[in-house]
Structure 1
Amino acid sequence: MSVVDRLADELRQPEYTGENRCTPCTVTNLLITAVVAAGLAVVNPLVAVAFAVLGVGAIAFRGYLVPGTPTLTKRYFPPWLLELFGKEPAGTADAPAYEGDVDPESYLLDHGVITETPDGEDLELVDGFWPTWRDAIERADEDLAAEVGDLLELEEPQVNPGGTITPAEEASGCTVYDGDVRVAQWPSEAALAADLGAIDALADHGIDVAAMDRGDAGQLLAGLRVFAEACPDCGGEMALGEDTVESCCSVADVFTYDCRDCGTRVMEIQAA
């Protein structure tokens, strides 16, 4: 490897470039670079050219030129503009893909996974499902990376890898990578383990999740998580709530299902 190649590798931030590049943030930085370069050109054209070259280089290798770019896009980019760039608002990355055509409650009722409570005012898991699901969660938790790698057919599966791959802003969630490429995100490792365990538990009810459309499967599994009778992580009591979450480019209000004891987030869905 040449000196130039080694330098490029040291400068590059894989979490913000390549497949992981945020288009709105990149466009914002390029516009800022162009405006500043235009202003400098009035004073000194050579300085303007040098600034433009350095700015574009920084954006290419680092992803950002201006520190705090995500804050700018959160504050000034409306949802419709983010959607033009293919960016999902915060709170919709409950994965591997949340959008689908399945109504989780109806589907789970029809397949005998949940039932009405004795008073007829709520829904709950059928007897025996939670112990089976809990045992499957514990098995999946032994090697999350291998389990999710098999599910999503990844070549180099990693779950919340260390080093420079995972941005600090994602530290509270669970991000799955294939090599350096972000593939999917869950609210927590416990939520991922719950989904992986649910696939085995649902098979006993004739539901082949792996054969379903990925969007439908993601929606079904996320919907099932809210019926977990205890925290998949510590066994504590679960509770519904509301919160405000941030992604790279947006802020959103979400409904949550968290553990009262350890705070683990098992489900997160954007409020209407």
Structure 2
Amino acid sequence: MSVVNRLYDEVRQPEYTGENRCTPCTVTNLLITAVVAAGLAVIQPAVAVAFAVLGVASVAVRGYLVPGTPELTKRYFPPWLLELFGKEPAGATDAPAYEGDVDPETYLLEHGIITETPDGEDVELVEGFWPVWDAAIDEADANLADAVGDLLELDEPRVDPGGEIESAGETGGGCTVYDGDTRVAQWPSEAALAADLGAIDALADHGVDVEAMDRADAGQLLAGLRVFAESCPDCGGPMALGEDTVESCCSVAEVFTYDCEDCGTRVMEIQTA
């Protein structure tokens, strides 16, 4: 291996380049490079050119020019700006879209999926629904890629259990669904995806046609139903509601969670207001 190749391998950061490159961070660093180079050009054009070349090379090879760029974007990039770059804010792992017009609890009560507890202070699944749902989860989990591919009508369905969040070295995780190389949707975990796929079949037995609903409404309903899972879809352990702070490359968010107390699998994650 040549000296140049060795040097390249030592300075490059694959966790922040290639498929893992963060567009907002890249644009921020290139803008900083351009501004500084423009300032230097007034004083010393040759230095400005050298700085511009080194800045662009650093962003290309390392992903960043300025150390701590993720902290800058977390602090100063609002969610709407991240979305312009196609970057989901932290905590936005529930997919399909979780911005429908359906109130899950009201809908599930009206359709006989959940009912009030005997003391009238809470709600729970109607008797017999969970065993049917649990069996449907196991069936979907046996071949997630085919099941979600049929649901979303994908040509080349692929399920990445770690997703882009984990591969980019960020906290949290997420199960990402691809059609070939195109990212289509993301769930908090494979268990959450299997829970939604199983729920579609279980709800159909109660006369609820999820696939005929608006996609955003369906996503909101299914994510809301996950909170009623009586045990972990992955290991069968007990579930518990909680709160967490989720960080991505460019943002930080407070979220409500529904996790397995035994294996830690996250079944639901939704950003607080």
Matches of residues 135-150 of structure 1 in structure 2 within 5 Å?
A: 135-150=135-150
Q: Which moved more, 1:121-130 or 1:247-256?
A: 247-256
Equivalent position of 1:109 in the other structure: 109
Deviations 1:192-240 (A, max 9, x none): 1111111111111111212211111110000000000001011111111
Equivalent position of 2:128 in the other structure: 128
SS at match of 2:29: helix
The one-letter amino acid of 1:15's match is N
Q: Which moved more, 1:72-81 or 1:105-114?
A: 72-81
Aligned equivalents of 2:92 and 2:103: distance in 1? 17
Aligned equivalents of 2:68 and 2:175: distance in 1? 23
Matches of residues 127-206 of structure 1 in structure 2 within 5 Å?
A: 127-160=127-160, 166-169=167-170, 172-206=173-207
- Tell me the TM-score normalized by structure 1: 0.83
CA contact (8 A) 2:159 2:177 kept: yes
Cα gap change, 1:131 to 1:271, in 2 (>3 Å): same
Deviations 1:160-181 (A, max 9, x none): 2789994232662212222333
Stretches of structure 2 lacking an aligned partner (at least 5 in a row): 1-13
CA contact (8 A) 2:161 2:174 kept: no
Cα gap change, 1:73 to 1:83, in 2 (>3 Å): same
- Does the alignment pair 1:13 with 2:18? yes
Aligned length: 258
Aligned equivalents of 1:196 and 1:243: distance in 2? 25
Stretches of structure 1 lacking an aligned partner (at least 5 in a row): 1-9
SS at match of 1:46: helix
Equivalent position of 2:272 in the other structure: 271
Aligned equivalents of 1:259 and 1:161: distance in 2? 17
Q: Which moved more, 1:89-98 or 1:100-109?
A: 89-98
Deviations 1:226-267 (A, max 9, x none): 000001011111111111111232111111111111111111
Identity %: 79
Equivalent position of 1:33 in the other structure: 33
Cα gap change, 1:62 to 1:197, in 2 (>3 Å): farther
SS at match of 1:261: coil
SS at match of 1:14: helix
The one-letter amino acid of 1:146's match is D
Aligned equivalents of 1:163 and 1:105: distance in 2? 29
Aligned equivalents of 1:243 and 1:199: distance in 2? 28
- Tell me the TM-score normalized by structure 2: 0.83
Aligned equivalents of 2:17 and 2:269: distance in 1? 32
SS at match of 2:170: helix
Equivalent position of 1:48 in the other structure: 48
CA contact (8 A) 2:162 2:174 kept: no
SS at match of 2:91: coil
SS at match of 2:178: strand
The one-letter amino acid of 1:151's match is L
Aligned equivalents of 1:12 and 1:84: distance in 2? 20
Deviations 1:172-191 (A, max 9, x none): 22122223332222111111
The one-letter amino acid of 1:36's match is V
Equivalent position of 1:214 in the other structure: 215
Give the superposed CA RMSD.
Answer: 2.9
Cα gap change, 1:50 to 1:96, in 2 (>3 Å): farther
Equivalent position of 1:92 in the other structure: 92
Equivalent position of 1:241 in the other structure: 242
CA contact (8 A) 1:25 1:64 kept: yes
Aligned equivalents of 1:163 and 1:205: distance in 2? 33
Q: Which moved more, 1:148-157 or 1:251-260?
A: 148-157
CA contact (8 A) 2:172 2:246 kept: no
CA contact (8 A) 1:15 1:180 kept: no
Q: Which moved more, 1:152-161 or 1:249-258?
A: 152-161
The one-letter amino acid of 1:49's match is V
The one-letter amino acid of 2:246's match is V
